[in-house]
Amino acid sequence: MGEVERVSVIIPTLEEAGRLGRLLDALKGQKGVAMDVVVADGGSIDGTPEVARRVGARVVEVGMASRARQMNAGALVSEGEWLLFLHADSVPADVDLLRDALERMRREEQGGVSERVVGHFSLHFEGAQRGERRRFYRGLERKSALNRALTTNGDQGMLMRRETYEAVGGFDEGLGYLEDQRFIAALEKRGGRRVTLGGYLRTSTRRFEVEGVGARYATMTLIMMAEAVGLEAFLSDEERVYAPQHRAGRLRFFQQLKVFGAVLRTGDRQVVRRRLRGLGVLGWQNLWQVPFGIDVWLWPASHGPTPLMDA
């Protein structure tokens, strides 16, 4: 690559003083790109902004914590032609990650049906539970590389040109989460597409460890179902379904399920039937996850075969 391109890395933070330094050090080590790092803080009191400033990152302080609002505020003051939105606990695994990602993005723009492309990375989970729940986390890692609907999340990073971000209209600030799913949905409505980039990010198992593996994964499923059929009353109780990491605790899934069922049944018969039909369509579209899960169980390697899903 001839010229060094400028990438603005926008990191939304809330009480991340203990983790942010590792990410910022990894970004400083990236080769072949010029870095403009913006930390968009949502009101941390643990010294997160000070950690960012000590290593030369710019800090924009947003009054109220909301990932979408923070990332939009960070994008507003950023300077790069390329924008990479990155969570504080998702760390590049090698020094060439961003340079290689930009090369791939340009190839995708030139060879695809749309120049509006959002790139994301595969994941590698790190944490105390990794050894005892090997198959579960390897399944999540393999799913992160599939580039299928509902498998692309903010933990994987979101790399795009500034003009793509502006064409979509930024991140939806309606909730404190789900901004990643809603951005991708808006992108695809405008003819854009997502693509899995080479390399991976190291990310944390911390939310699963705090909230419980089964309860968190099942609650994520309820969140995707609620988003698919517009159950905003379920989604808007953020403290219950997706509390900020520093306030997260053990989830009580069956209580979540009870609330979900009550909200689902709210409204007249026609509305409820439309929601049920929507859930049926969503279930049909995601039947691939059953053979995929069996493949992961039988071949638990990080990049093992998926013959049942392929069939």
Q: What is the mean pLDDT of residues 20-24?
A: 97
Determine the length of the chain: 311
128-156 mean pLDDT: 88
Confidence of residue 3 (pLDDT cuts 50, 70, 90): low
- The secondary structure element, H or E, covering residue 226 is helix 213-229
Positive/negative CA dihedral, 110, 172, 24, 93: negative
Torsion of CA 96, 1, 114, 94, to 10 degrees: 0
Tell me, yes or no, if the pTM score tops 0.85. yes
What does the alpha-carbon distance between residue 116 and residue 163 come to, in Å, rounded to a whole number?
Answer: 8
Average pLDDT over residues 5-10: 94
Which range is least confidently modeled, 3-12, 225-234, 271-280, 302-311?
302-311
Strands across the sheet with 82-85, in order?
58-61, 33-41, 5-13, 82-85, 158-161, 117-126, 193-204, 91-92
Q: What is the mean pLDDT of the chain?
A: 93
pLDDT tier at 104, thresholds 50, 70, 90: very high
What share of the chain has pLDDT > 70, as a percent?
A: 98
Domain 5-204 has CATH 2.60.40.1580: no
pLDDT tens readout for residues 120-136: 999 999 987 787 888 89
pLDDT for residue 60 is more than 90: yes
User: What average pLDDT score do residues 279-297 get?
Assistant: 94
Mean pLDDT of 3-11: 89
**Average confidence (pLDDT) over 287-298:** 93
| Domain positions in the chain | 5-204, 208-300
What is the average per-residue pLDDT within 107-119? 83
- pLDDT at position 270, please? 97
Q: What integer pLDDT is reported at residue 289 of this predicted model?
A: 93
Least confident interval from 62-66, 105-109, 263-267: 62-66
Three-class SS of residue 263? Answer: helix
Q: Could you report the per-residue pLDDT of 156-183, keeping only the tens digit for each?
A: 999 999 999 999 999 999 999 999 999 9
pLDDT digits (tens, 9 = 90+) for 226-267: 999 999 999 999 999 999 999 999 999 999 999 999 999 999
pLDDT-based confidence at residue 112 (cuts at 50, 70, 90):
low
At 229 the pLDDT is: 96
Residues 171, 169: Cα–Cα separation, whole Å: 7
Structure-block tokens of residue 132: 């005892």
* Element containing residue 281 per DSSP (H, E): helix 269-285
pLDDT at 1: 43
Q: How far apart are CA 167 and CA 164, in angstroms?
A: 5
